[in-house]
Amino acid sequence: MSTAKIQIKNLYKIFSDRPQEALRLLKEGHSKDEVFAKTGLVTGVNNVSFDVNAGEIFVLMGLSGSGKSTLIRLINRLVEPSAGSILVDGEDLAKLPHAELVKWRRRRIAMVFQSFALMPHRTVLENAAFGLEVAGSQKGWREDKTMHVLEQVGLKAYAKKYPRQLSGGMQQRVGLARALAVDPDILLMDEAFSALDPLKRTEMQDLMLELQRGQQRTIFFVSHDLEEALRIGSRIAIMEGGTLVQEGTPHEIITNPANDYVRKFFKGVDTSRYLTAADLVDSGYDKAQLNGGPRMPWTTTLPEAMRHVLGQDQPVGVVDDANQLLGCITAKSLLVKIAEGARHA
Ligand SMILES: Nc1ncnc2c1ncn2[C@@H]1O[C@H](COP(=O)(O)OP(=O)(O)OP(=O)(O)O)[C@@H](O)[C@H]1O
Ligand SMILES: [Mg+2]
């Protein structure tokens, strides 16, 4: 069973010292634009609730200005909420005294930014060790620990170099190493790979997935790229104008987009890779006719299902985990589903 690491409940952020009137309007159902027109105040986050499970990579998506960075900063309290709560391991951060909050931030949570934010006059090692240095750890211990993390991200040989001697992709690895060195439970990543070219970007995604297999941190990852979200996310949430429009697994988002705003992110993305036989099944087919015929499990991926169906000149039954027949897939039903999918592309 999954347990919630971060619980966000009815969270609001209005950029003002006096948010009450704007809050009232939002709670009455007015949109971010209407609230701005009436009060002149900008809404960053509007009544957002969701859980992030321990050990998962949760991806937050949305267009520019939809509130992603505001939300990620609310989680480590770089931004103060106007209303609502954020619980981490069941504890309300808003109730922590300031000194405790600072300690908590240093030990349990780390953030990786889009701009690498490295210090130019410090070596790779000194940059990566910065979080530990701030936390007051002893130099020898700190450097050993950081070297170990630099090795994990493939930068051991560059420890004595300066940021300007490194490519963008390598600089972002330093940013990641700096976050990992403090050994946080929670890693917040705001468009961390967006400045990298597509190849370097997938390389970083692979590195992160590989590290995650051994470490099981809770990762909250902001991205505006659906391809990236599908690749790394166990769940995806999509924001529009400060509100959450959908939350679900990659499969749920692909097969059941909440609205056209969500569908727009599909453009140019091969969403069919995320379909399985269960999505392709023709349930109207007379099941009696499938008796004794070939079968495939509902989890079969689209390419496998195609191979299976095209290799037979009869319908292939699709069965659930209990081996019950859900329906079948024929060459014709496959074509219909693929044509439907192609309309999104
Ligand atoms: N410090 C601030 N003061 C006032 N308004 C702000 C502040 N920070 C963000 N906003 C506003 O809050 C809204 C959400 O901004 P935010 O930076 O969270 O969006 P985003 O989804 O991260 O966008 P991007 O993809 O461009 O990074 C925007 O309308 C923005 O103008
Ligand atoms: Mg942002």
- Same-domain check for residues 301 and 221: no
Read off the pLDDT of residues 302-324 as tens digits, 9 standing for 90 and up.
888 988 888 888 889 999 999 99
Determine whether the shortest distance from the Cβ of 141 to ligand 1 is under 6 A.
no
- Same-domain check for residues 207 and 286: no
Using pLDDT thresholds of 50, 70 and 90, give the confidence band for residue 343: low
Q: Is residue 221 part of a domain?
A: yes
Q: Is residue 85 part of a domain?
A: no
CA 69–ligand 1 middle distance (angstroms): 7
Instruction: Work out which ligand 1 atom sits closest to the CA atom of 43.
Output: 12
Among 109-113, 135-139, 216-220, the range with the most confident prediction by mean pLDDT is 216-220
CA 312–ligand 2 middle distance (angstroms): 50
Spatial distance between the Cα atoms of 130 and 4, rounded to a whole number of angstroms: 30
Residue 203 has pLDDT above 80, yes or no: yes
- Same-domain check for residues 311 and 242: no
Spatial distance between the Cα atoms of 235 and 248, rounded to a whole number of angstroms: 5
Tell whether the torsion through CA atoms of 15, 71, 188 and 165 is positive or negative.
Answer: negative
Atom 24 of ligand 1, residue of closest alpha carbon: 64
Residue 276 has pLDDT above 60, yes or no: yes
- Same-domain check for residues 180 and 118: yes
Domains of the chain: total: 2
Tell me what the mean pLDDT of segment 105-129 comes to: 90
Ligand 1 binding pocket mutation candidate from 70, 72, 245 (most atoms within 8 A of CB) = 70
CA 111–ligand 1 middle distance (angstroms): 17
Instruction: Return the CATH number at 66.
Output: 3.40.50.300
Give the model's pLDDT for residue 216: 87
Question: What residues contact 123, with CB distance under 8 A and at least 6 apart?
Answer: 159, 160, 161, 162
Percent of the chain whose pLDDT exceeds 90: 66
CA 71–ligand 1 middle distance (angstroms): 9
Residue 342 has pLDDT above 70, yes or no: no
Instruction: Work out which ligand 1 atom sits closest to the CA atom of 42.
Output: 5
Instruction: Return the CATH number at 295.
Output: 3.90.1280.20
Predicted structure pTM score:
0.88
Atom 17 of ligand 1, residue of closest alpha carbon: 69
Residue 338 has pLDDT above 80, yes or no: no
Give the model's pLDDT for residue 1: 55
Spatial distance between the Cα atoms of 14 and 9, rounded to a whole number of angstroms: 16
Cα-based distances in Å from 256 to 70, 106, 233: 27, 39, 17
Determine whether the shortest distance from the Cβ of 223 to ligand 1 is under 6 A.
no
Instruction: Work out which ligand 1 atom sits closest to the CA atom of 79.
Output: 1
Determine whether the shortest distance from the Cβ of 64 to ligand 1 is under 6 A.
yes
Q: What is the mean pLDDT of the chain?
A: 91
Percent of the chain whose pLDDT exceeds 70: 98
Instruction: Work out which ligand 1 atom sits closest to the CA atom of 73.
Output: 18
Atom 31 of ligand 1, residue of closest alpha carbon: 65
Spatial distance between the Cα atoms of 14 and 22, rounded to a whole number of angstroms: 7
Tell me what the mean pLDDT of segment 119-131 comes to: 96
Using pLDDT thresholds of 50, 70 and 90, give the confidence band for residue 181: very high
Give the model's pLDDT for residue 23: 97
- Same-domain check for residues 287 and 265: no
Residue 199 has pLDDT above 70, yes or no: yes
Residue 301 has pLDDT above 70, yes or no: yes
Give the model's pLDDT for residue 2: 65
Query: Which residues make up the environment of ion ligand 2, defined by Cβ < 5 Å?
Result: 69
Cα-based distances in Å from 314 to 297, 306, 326: 17, 13, 16
Using pLDDT thresholds of 50, 70 and 90, give the confidence band for residue 238: very high
Judge residue 232's burial from the number of C-beta atoms within 10 Å of its C-beta, 0-12 exposed, 13-18 middle, 19 or more buried.
buried
- Same-domain check for residues 183 and 327: no
Q: Is residue 223 part of a domain?
A: yes
Read off the pLDDT of residues 126-169 as tens digits, 9 standing for 90 and up.
999 999 998 888 999 999 999 999 999 999 999 999 999 999 88
- Same-domain check for residues 193 and 170: yes
Ligand nearest to the CA of 79: 1
Give the model's pLDDT for residue 107: 79
Using pLDDT thresholds of 50, 70 and 90, give the confidence band for residue 245: very high
Atom 12 of ligand 1, residue of closest alpha carbon: 44
The closest alpha carbon to 161, from 116, 119, 124, 120, belongs to 124
Domain, as residue range, for 222: 54-74+97-269
Residue 295 has pLDDT above 80, yes or no: yes
Q: Is residue 29 part of a domain?
A: no
Residue 334 has pLDDT above 90, yes or no: no
Q: Is residue 117 part of a domain?
A: yes
Q: Distance from CA of residue 240 to its chain's centroid? A: 16
- Same-domain check for residues 156 and 260: yes
Q: Is residue 34 part of a domain?
A: no
Q: Is residue 79 part of a domain?
A: no
Residue 344 has pLDDT above 80, yes or no: no
- Same-domain check for residues 163 and 312: no
- Same-domain check for residues 118 and 149: yes
Read off the pLDDT of residues 19-34 as tens digits, 9 standing for 90 and up.
999 999 999 999 999 9
CA 174–ligand 1 middle distance (angstroms): 26
- Same-domain check for residues 263 and 293: no
Q: Is residue 123 part of a domain?
A: yes
Tell whether the torsion through CA atoms of 326, 329, 332 and 334 is positive or negative.
Answer: positive
CA 69–ligand 2 middle distance (angstroms): 4
The closest alpha carbon to 211, from 245, 234, 177, belongs to 177
Determine whether the shortest distance from the Cβ of 65 to ligand 1 is under 6 A.
yes
Give the model's pLDDT for residue 126: 96
Beta bridge partners of 7: 51, 87
